[in-house]
Every structure is written in structure tokens, then in C-alpha cells.
Amino acid sequence: MKVQILGTGCPKCKKLAANAEEAIAASGVDAEIVKIDKLGEIMEFGVMMTPALAIDGEVKASGKVLSAAEITEMLKGA
């Protein structure tokens, strides 16, 4: 599974990445985190607000920092 963090490196993007790492560790899911920080690549996902989180290429949330618990639920459902 691939968890993608879409953002330019702002503090909110970094917090989302940290929460994703925590969620992966807590859930025991075999997943890798990929940070996408190039604006052109972010726009290919159709994301207009960052930070955003995608799982296996599907955008799950944008414009907010999800908690580790919220991300864990998404990982279980993926």
C-alpha cells in the first residue's frame, strides 16, 4: 500500500506526514509513505488545497490535517 502526502513542505504538511507514520505503525499495515511536493504532480491528483492525503493514488482528504486515528481508519478500509 502507498500512502501519499501531497504538500509543499509547510508545517501542516509535515504534521500530516507524521500522523500518517503514526497511523501506519499503530495499524500494523504494510505501507510506504511517499511525499509529493512538486506543484505539477499535486495538481495531477486534482488537489487544490494542501495538505492532502491519498492512498494508492486515490485522494482521501485535502485541505486539512487528519489525525492519526482518522488515517488509521482509512488504512483499515483500504
Enumerate the domain spans of the chain. Answer: 2-77
Marked catalytic residue, from 2, 8, 9, 10: 10
**Residue-level pLDDT at 77:** 81
Specify whether 78 is catalytic.
Answer: no
Marked catalytic residue, from 3, 5, 6, 13: 13
Residue whose C-alpha cell reads 502526502 in the numeric block? 5
Distance in angstroms (rounded) separating the CA atoms of residues 25 and 45:
26
Cβ–Cβ < 8 Å for 31, 24 = yes
**Residue-level pLDDT at 78:** 66
**Residue-level pLDDT at 24:** 96
Cβ–Cβ < 8 Å for 54, 60 = yes
**Residue-level pLDDT at 76:** 87
What are the φ/ψ torsions at residue 48 (nearest 5 degrees)? -105, -20
> Each residue of 9-68: pLDDT tens digit?
899 999 999 999 999 999 999 999 999 999 999 999 999 999 999 999 999 999 999 999
CATH number of 2-77: 3.40.30.10
Using the Cα atoms of residue 76, residue 73, residue 64 and residue 48 in order, give the sign of their dihedral: positive
Specify whether 50 is catalytic.
Answer: no
pTM of the model: 0.93
